[in-house]
Amino acid sequence: MNDDSLLIPAVNMVGAVTVLMLWGFPSIFFHELGHTVAARLLGLKPTHLVVGEFDSIFSVRVFDIDVVFRLAPIGGATLIDAPPTNKVTAFIYVISGPISNALIIFAAVTLWPHTALKAILATVILIEVIVVIENLIPRSMVYEGVAVPSDGKRLLQIFFRRLS
């Protein structure tokens, strides 16, 4: 038995706990970035990319978009100047967030056989699966007094109502 035989399991456990506590911010950021990039590619004008809820920790303006990080990594929102009126455009814009999370899952699964840090990757995969599922639940979050629908709620609106 090598002296470092417990090193990899220890790093895995510490890493998994750290990822569990901190991965929410990058996960939500990449999800909202997916919406933001899709909005730009579709000719929409994103104005805010919000990560988290409650009080703001900091904000920065990047490419004419206010990027706001809030205290708790729970939820997020990408606000656009005007909603899309075409159902296909709206669908692509809405689904781009969950697709971003699915790409993170794909990257983690691709890295799986090439690392000894499987507990960390397993934690990332678990969080991303939860984020995708949570985003597809129809509900709303409040941003500066305005109700912002989740991706799931927006998808239901696209499929069962006319866009206004």
Q: What is the pLDDT of residue 16?
A: 72
Q: What is the pLDDT of residue 162?
A: 64
Model confidence band, residue 164 (pLDDT cutoffs 50, 70, 90) = low
66 versus 5: the higher-pLDDT residue is: 66
Decide: 50 and 32 in contact? Cβ < 8 Å: yes
Q: Summarize pLDDT for 88-122 with one digit per residue, the tens.
A: 999 999 999 999 999 999 999 999 999 877 888 88
Cα–Cα dist 142/37, whole Å: 22
Model confidence band, residue 1 (pLDDT cutoffs 50, 70, 90) = very low
Q: Summarize pLDDT for 24-62 with one digit per residue, the tens.
A: 889 999 999 999 999 999 999 999 999 987 888 889 999
Cα–Cα dist 71/61, whole Å: 18
